[in-house]
Structure 1
Amino acid sequence: MPKGYVILTETIHDPAGMAAYSRLSGASLAEYGGRVLAVDDDVDVIEGSWPGRRTIVIEYESVEKAQDWYRSASYQAALPLRQAAADCNVIIASGFTPRAATPR
């Protein structure tokens, strides 16, 4: 069965708010068996925003498990904190393999 992945890209405006969101979302992540594969931080200043943009890749045993986590009450409770602290795009994918994990 293909693994499931949640890919988040965030432009952070409020680091303290994102820290609060990360604490809540991290607890729910463990509850659903998620594993953070990669965090790519880009500290270039983005016009009109706090200088913090990152991409996070989280792996689950299946795409259904990834969807279950994203829809869970525990994760949904964290979303208002993220919405107040950052602009975020989310992709839930199946069969995605990060480039670093691909044998060369």
Structure 2
Amino acid sequence: MSAGYVIAQLKITNPENYKEYIEKVNPIIKKFGGEYLVRAGEFQIFDGETKFPRIIILKFPSYERALDWYNSEEYKPIKQIRLDNAEGTNIIIKGL
């Protein structure tokens, strides 16, 4: 079974309120077997540009488990906190 990855690129628009998202999302990620591989670390852009300076990469045991996490009832209210306080993109992708 291939791992599932979540790749998020974000621009935090309300840092104070976004702290609530960070606090609440971690236990749910762990519940679904997810782990952080990258969490807003230092980076350099070599080609092109981005308007989303915060990059997060999560690994789940499977693509299906990543989808389960994102679509779960537990994550739904927490996702809204992110949507209200950040702009960006989220991709869920099946690994090799």
Q: Same fold (TM over 0.5)?
A: yes
Query: CA RMSD for the aligned pairs?
Result: 1.8
> Could you say which residue in structure 1 is the equivalent of 2:28?
28
Please tell me whether Structure 1 or Structure 2 has the larger radius of gyration of its CA atoms.
1
RCO higher in structure (CA 8 A, sep ≥6): 2
> Does the 8 Å CA contact 1:25/1:74 hold for their aligned counterparts?
no
Return the TM-score normalized by structure 1: 0.77
Q: 1:86 and 1:77 mapped to 2: Cα distance?
A: 15
**4+ aligned runs moved over 3 Å, structure 1:** none
> Could you say which residue in structure 1 is the equivalent of 2:62?
62
Return 5+ residue gaps in structure 1 as ranges: 43-51, 97-104
> Could you say which residue in structure 2 is the equivalent of 1:99?
none
What is the identity, as a one-letter code, of the residue corresponding to 2:18? Answer: M
Return 5+ residue gaps in structure 2 as ranges: 43-51
Return the TM-score normalized by structure 2: 0.83
Q: Secondary structure at the match of 1:73?
A: coil
Q: 1:53 and 1:27 mapped to 2: Cα distance?
A: 24
Please give the per-residue CA displacement for 1:63-87, whole angstroms capped at 9, x wherever unaligned.
0000000001111110121111100
Aligned pair count reads 88
What is the identity, as a one-letter code, of the residue corresponding to 1:17? Answer: N
Please give the per-residue CA displacement for 1:22-76, whole angstroms capped at 9, x wherever unaligned.
111112101101000012346xxxxxxxxx8211000011000000000011111
